[in-house]
Amino acid sequence: MPSYGLLVAGFHYPNIAEDEFDDWYDTEHIPERLSVKGFLNAERWVAADGAKTALATYDLESLAVLKQPSYVTKKGDGRSPWSKRIARKTELFCRLTAEQIVPGHAVAPGNAGGLLMFATNVSPDVEKDFNAWYDEEHVPALRKVPGCLSARRFRTDEGAPQYVALYHLKDPEVASCDAWKKAVDTPWTAKIRPHLKDTLRLVLRKYNSQRA
């Protein structure tokens, strides 16, 4: 059975009315994606610090889902006029697809109020040690932090950076609590950290529609 896939899209949207951006996402974009067979869910997130930054994450039955005509025809020139207008007014700062490597077939929990996304490239000469650190120490330690509901790792297939970790949290504040800081403050982490490049760390809050 193929590992589950992941689609991530991140936008900065300072130059568009928030209600238009949300209406597009909620009434057109996400329903389009969920109409494609193999999309398991769709979650929206906004920056915990109040910045006009948004992230959408989609769990997939496999990366092959993204090769289906029902998905491909909705990209590029197949986008609706509304989608093209939104694209002109926003900045797509992150788009990637990835394969789940740990645990392999887990979907996002439905009760998370926060999300930490950490994506990074790693120097090839330490990649083996990097993966061992993540799988043997880092992810197991963070899973034990109170308020961490899920910890999953992905290897990027399209886009960048090359590795992605998603941590679903009770709320965004979990990512800055003392237990979280203690879990990441280890000698092995200190050894790995200098070899990480082009890192992207986002702490986000679950988006809640204000639509009546």
State the CATH number of the domain containing residue 85.
3.30.70.100
Domain carrying residue 154: 5-206
Q: What is the residue-averaged pLDDT of the chain?
A: 96
Q: Percentage of the chain surpassing pLDDT 90?
A: 94
Residue 76's pLDDT is 79
Q: Which residue has the tokens 């000469």?
A: 125
**Dist CA 55 CA 45 (whole Å):** 5
Mean pLDDT (whole number) for 186-201: 98
212 found inside a domain:
no
Token reading at 54: 């948004």
The answer to whether residue 211 is domain-embedded is: no
Cis before 146 (ω within 30): no
Of 172, 161, 38, the C-alpha closest to 113 is 172
- Asked whether residue 210 carries a pLDDT value surpassing 80, the answer given is no
Tally of domains within the chain: 1
Tell me the pLDDT band of 128, cut-offs 50, 70 and 90: very high
Tell me if 47 is assigned to some domain.
yes
Q: Is residue 148 part of a domain?
A: yes
pTM: 0.96
In a domain, 106, yes or no: yes
What is the amino acid identity at position 114? G
Mean pLDDT for 52-78 is: 93
* pLDDT recorded at residue 211: 56
Whether 45 is in a domain gets the answer: yes
